[in-house]
Amino acid sequence: MKEPLPERFDDLGLIEPIARAVREEGYERPTPIQARAIPHLLQGRDLLGLAQTGTGKTAAFALPILQRLVTPTPPALRGPRPIRVLILTPTRELASQIADSFDTYGKHLHVRTVVIFGGVGMEPQKQALRAGMDVLVATPGRLLDLAGQGFLHLPHLEVFVLDEADRMLDMGFIHDVRRVIRLLPDKKQSLFFSATMPPEAQALADQLLKDPVRVAVAPVSSTAEKVDQELAYVDKADKRALLLELLRDVGMRKVLVFSRTKHGANKVADHLDEHGVGAAAIHGNKSQSARERALADFKAGKIRVLVATDIAARGIDIDEITHVVNFDLPEVPEQYVHRIGRTARAGASGYAVSFCEADERELLQAIEKLIRMQIPVLEGHPFEDRAPQPLRPGERVAMSPQAQMQARRDERRRAEQANRDRRGGGHARRDEPRRDEPRHADPRHGEPRRDPAAVTRPAPVAGAPRPAPAARPGDAPRPDGAGGAGRRRRRRR
Which residues would be at the binding site for ligand AMP (CB under 6 A)?
27, 30-31, 34, 53-59, 314-315, 472
In whole angstroms, the minimum distance from the beta carbon of 317 to ligand AMP comes to 9
Contacts of residue 60, defined as CB under 8 A and 6 or more positions apart, other chains included, come to 31, 33, 34, 37, 38, 41, 49, 51
30 or 90: CB nearest ligand AMP = 30
53 or 221: CB nearest ligand AMP = 53
58 or 326: CB nearest ligand AMP = 58
22 or 152: CB nearest ligand AMP = 22
315 or 433: CB nearest ligand AMP = 315
Q: What angle do CA 276, 280, 286 make, to 5 degrees?
A: 150
In whole angstroms, the minimum distance from the beta carbon of 58 to ligand AMP comes to 3
In whole angstroms, the minimum distance from the beta carbon of 237 to ligand AMP comes to 32
100 or 170: CB nearest ligand AMP = 100
In whole angstroms, the minimum distance from the beta carbon of 468 to ligand AMP comes to 14
56 or 64: CB nearest ligand AMP = 56
Rounded Cα gap, residues 131 and 80, in angstroms: 6
In whole angstroms, the minimum distance from the beta carbon of 31 to ligand AMP comes to 5
In whole angstroms, the minimum distance from the beta carbon of 470 to ligand AMP comes to 8
The burial class, CB within 10 Å (0-12 / 13-18 / 19+), for 3 is exposed
Based on its alpha-carbon atoms, the radius of gyration of the chain, rounded to whole angstroms, reads: 23
Backbone angles phi, psi at 323, to 5 degrees: -140, 145
9 or 160: CB nearest ligand AMP = 9
Q: What angle do CA 193, 337, 13 make, to 5 degrees?
A: 50
In whole angstroms, the minimum distance from the beta carbon of 205 to ligand AMP comes to 19
In whole angstroms, the minimum distance from the beta carbon of 371 to ligand AMP comes to 16
443 or 484: CB nearest ligand AMP = 443
Contacts of residue 209, defined as CB under 8 A and 6 or more positions apart, other chains included, come to 46, 47, 48, 190, 192
Amino acid letter for position 114: V
Nearest to residue 363, comparing CAs of 335, 403, 322?
Answer: 335
In whole angstroms, the minimum distance from the beta carbon of 51 to ligand AMP comes to 7
342 or 381: CB nearest ligand AMP = 342
In whole angstroms, the minimum distance from the beta carbon of 55 to ligand AMP comes to 5
111 or 234: CB nearest ligand AMP = 111
In whole angstroms, the minimum distance from the beta carbon of 295 to ligand AMP comes to 16
